[in-house]
Chain A
């Protein structure tokens, strides 16, 4: 589904990603772990098309198309979703209005029929149930005055509603207490399906206790330096990231 090859990217003239390669198949959950400054969030931002991230080399192919050639909204319509590390508060824009505008914009871009307000509300109610979110959040402005946990749950709720094929979770676990973390993990697990892939970017192993990954990558100094199964995450937990940056890129010897 997603194939990243030799990706180099710069932010404000500084090279952050230095030849990152990665392949994700439909149905898989990949975790990307790494120390601060390794380039984890840069990867999420490059994949979702944020301004200010300059790709200087490499390719990103998503379902056979060049993902980097698409505008952020086109990526979303194609099924790519980024759960933000720091969701933005947008005063004056009602959450429900925003969600419907987003869903209908995506449907329109895909040539599907837009949902009227009745159909949309029915869908929202179904998803609220799955996510165990109070509908009170829907009546407020987007993320305005939400607690940290509410913001993250709102991200997962949006994901449930928009039903992406590829979900990128950028440090979704950061700043959550254990109850909120479990809620978020339950939401993600409920969305796992053979057609959907997840890329979970995280600093800590904690989230992976609740959302068990198929593949774990270690990102250090702008490259994937090690790839393994979930036991790799446990090793990192035990030994820390010390020494990681000196390792050779994964597959370099093959």
Chain B
């Protein structure tokens, strides 16, 4: 085995100068996280949580740090629009905030929305608690790198009892550059007591590139807050995108997530939710559809830590060509989280003999009077159904699309934004092999 630091990826990440903020606690946090990364390197292959995602290919590549020309990259603003999403918009291109593409005028009352770079400049102290974290776990190499190098990201705060109807749109664009870039974004989102927000997170590309991006987000819902969060991931076909999203739900907070993982070459999402207040509720709905040689890995981890908390997760995977999907759904009902209700339903479809999906449901219960149901399946399209449709005149490709869309329907059915739901349905069908 080679020394971790000699891997080109590690060398190029470590070579990058740390951003200097002049804020002592922030600079110390960046230094510490980088030191942990330098010591541990990319030793993820030995970690169970990375077992199904090989980083050998990525580790052999090197990336330039950030994009000095990000402010001048041409991005057509009309390509950023999503149907049914017409609220405020915050846009980042290659990890850099773009005021010219963002829509931040006339923000609704109670909503603070600004880039992290600006928030650190004007009022860093409220961010100190969440940004001071050191990440020591062996499976957190990319989180360490992100903590050390992220210069920008989303800072969103919603005041107590503020309710925002129009969805807030967060856009992360990967733009072609002179070479392959690495960029890192750090998002901090807080909903106050009784606040309600709809959020749409959109990853897309303005052209072919093979950048590496890391995005780490913390989302905090205070008592009685409600969040609907949709994620549309359409990164470039060559891009590597590694995300970690951590949710904390306080008493009677309620979060609903809909995720569609469509793009990228190597995609990894660690989605962690902690239900820390009594009566907190979480729904996750996700679909991943890798094709070609895509690798898409979702690691869902839900912890019930309080009384009468509820989580329901419905995930569908569809892999075609030589693509690989990974889904791990781990639910823990911690001691004392009595009366909790946890369900996980994961079904996967292989559309080709060379495609692969690894599904791993895990359930650990340490509390009493818990209702829990979980299961995962991997299968193929039903031949009898295909024949039935074809015998009525529907051509094979269309019949497959019809059945695959039906298979994924359970994920999108309860997405409240109808225009967005229909757009996502169309994206899923467009992703199917001809």
Which of A's residues lie within 8 Å of B, judged by CB? 48-51, 71-73, 75-77, 81-82, 84, 87-88, 90-93, 98, 101-103, 105-106, 109, 141-142, 158, 162
Of A88, A90, A158, the contact of B406 (CB 8 Å cutoff): A90
Of B384, B385, B393, B396, the contact of A102 (CB 8 Å cutoff): B393
Whether A93 touches B392, Cβ cut-off 8 Å, given contacts A51-B387, A88-B385, A105-B398, is no
Question: How far apart are A252's CB and chain B's nearest CB, in angstroms?
Answer: 33
A-B CB contact pairs (8 Å), 8 listed? A49-B390, A71-B396, A73-B391, A84-B391, A88-B384, A90-B406, A92-B410, A162-B392
Enumerate chain A residues within 8 angstroms of B403, measured Cβ to Cβ. Answer: 90, 93
Asked if A101 and B385 sit within 8 Å, CB to CB, the answer is: no
Looking at A72, A87, A90, the one whose CB has the most chain B CB atoms below 10 A away is A72
Enumerate chain B residues within 8 angstroms of A101, measured Cβ to Cβ. Answer: 394, 398, 402
Q: How far is the CA of A49 from the CA of B394 in the complex (A)?
A: 13
Enumerate chain A residues within 8 angstroms of B61, measured Cβ to Cβ. Answer: none
Q: Any chain A CB within 8 A of the CB of B395?
A: yes
Which of B's residues lie within 8 Å of A, judged by CB? 382-385, 387-396, 398-399, 402-403, 405-407, 409-410
Asked if B396 and A90 sit within 8 Å, CB to CB, the answer is: no
Whether A72 touches B402, Cβ cut-off 8 Å, given contacts A101-B394, A105-B395, is no
Whether A76 touches B393, Cβ cut-off 8 Å, given contacts A51-B383, A51-B387, A90-B403, is yes
Asked if B393 and A109 sit within 8 Å, CB to CB, the answer is: yes
Of A76, A91, A93, A142, the contact of B391 (CB 8 Å cutoff): A76
Asked if B393 and A92 sit within 8 Å, CB to CB, the answer is: no
- Name the residue on B nearest A143 (C-beta): B388
Asked if B406 and A93 sit within 8 Å, CB to CB, the answer is: yes
Whether A105 touches B406, Cβ cut-off 8 Å, given contacts A84-B388, A87-B388, is no
Of A90, A91, A105, A141, the contact of B388 (CB 8 Å cutoff): A90
Question: How far apart are A132's CB and chain B's nearest CB, in angstroms?
Answer: 22
Enumerate chain A residues within 8 angstroms of B399, measured Cβ to Cβ. Answer: 73
Q: How far is the CA of A121 from the CA of B267 in the complex (A)?
A: 44
Looking at B390, B406, B409, B410, the one whose CB has the most chain A CB atoms below 10 A away is B390
- Name the residue on A nearest B399 (C-beta): A73
Asked if A162 and B409 sit within 8 Å, CB to CB, the answer is: no
Q: How far is the CA of A49 from the CA of B384 in the complex (A)?
A: 12
Whether A162 touches B393, Cβ cut-off 8 Å, given contacts A90-B406, A101-B402, is yes
Of B391, B396, B407, the contact of A82 (CB 8 Å cutoff): B391
Of A50, A77, A109, the contact of B387 (CB 8 Å cutoff): A50
Q: How far is the CA of A105 from the CA of B395 in the complex (A)?
A: 7
Q: How far is the CA of A51 from the CA of B385 in the complex (A)?
A: 12
4 new A-B contacts at CB < 8 Å, known A73-B394, A76-B393, A106-B392: A48-B391, A50-B387, A77-B393, A105-B398
Asked if B407 and A72 sit within 8 Å, CB to CB, the answer is: no
Asked if A76 and B406 sit within 8 Å, CB to CB, the answer is: no
Whether A90 touches B385, Cβ cut-off 8 Å, given contacts A48-B391, A72-B391, A162-B392, is yes
Q: How far is the CA of A105 from the CA of B388 in the complex (A)?
A: 14
Listed from nearest, the 8 A-B pairs whose CB atoms lie closest are A92-B406, A76-B393, A106-B393, A102-B392, A72-B390, A88-B388, A92-B409, A105-B393
Of B391, B398, B402, B405, the contact of A49 (CB 8 Å cutoff): B391
- Name the residue on A nearest B407 (C-beta): A92
Of A50, A51, A84, A102, the contact of B394 (CB 8 Å cutoff): A102
Q: How far is the CA of A98 from the CA of B387 in the complex (A)?
A: 13
Enumerate chain B residues within 8 angstroms of A158, measured Cβ to Cβ. Answer: 392
Of B396, B405, B410, the contact of A73 (CB 8 Å cutoff): B396
Q: How far is the CA of A72 from the CA of B384 in the complex (A)?
A: 13
Enumerate chain A residues within 8 angstroms of B406, measured Cβ to Cβ. Answer: 90-93, 141
Enumerate chain A residues within 8 angstroms of B409, measured Cβ to Cβ. Answer: 92
Enumerate chain B residues within 8 angstroms of A82, measured Cβ to Cβ. Answer: 391
- Name the residue on A nearest B410 (C-beta): A92
Asked if B387 and A102 sit within 8 Å, CB to CB, the answer is: no
- Name the residue on A nearest B387 (C-beta): A50
Of B388, B390, B407, the contact of A71 (CB 8 Å cutoff): B390
Question: How far apart are B145's CB and chain A's nearest CB, in angstroms?
Answer: 41
Whether A102 touches B388, Cβ cut-off 8 Å, given contacts A90-B403, A93-B406, is no
Asked if A72 and B387 sit within 8 Å, CB to CB, the answer is: yes
Enumerate chain A residues within 8 angstroms of B391, measured Cβ to Cβ. Answer: 48-50, 72-73, 75-76, 81-82, 84
Question: How far apart are A178's CB and chain B's nearest CB, in angstroms?
Answer: 27
Enumerate chain B residues within 8 angstroms of A81, measured Cβ to Cβ. Answer: 391
Enumerate chain B residues within 8 angstroms of A142, measured Cβ to Cβ. Answer: 388
Question: How far apart are B243's CB and chain A's nearest CB, in angstroms?
Answer: 29
Question: How far apart are A214's CB and chain B's nearest CB, in angstroms?
Answer: 25
Enumerate chain A residues within 8 angstroms of B402, measured Cβ to Cβ. Answer: 93, 98, 101
Question: How far apart are B115's CB and chain A's nearest CB, in angstroms?
Answer: 41
- Name the residue on B nearest A92 (C-beta): B406
Q: How far is the CA of A93 from the CA of B382 in the complex (A)?
A: 13
- Name the residue on B nearest A161 (C-beta): B392
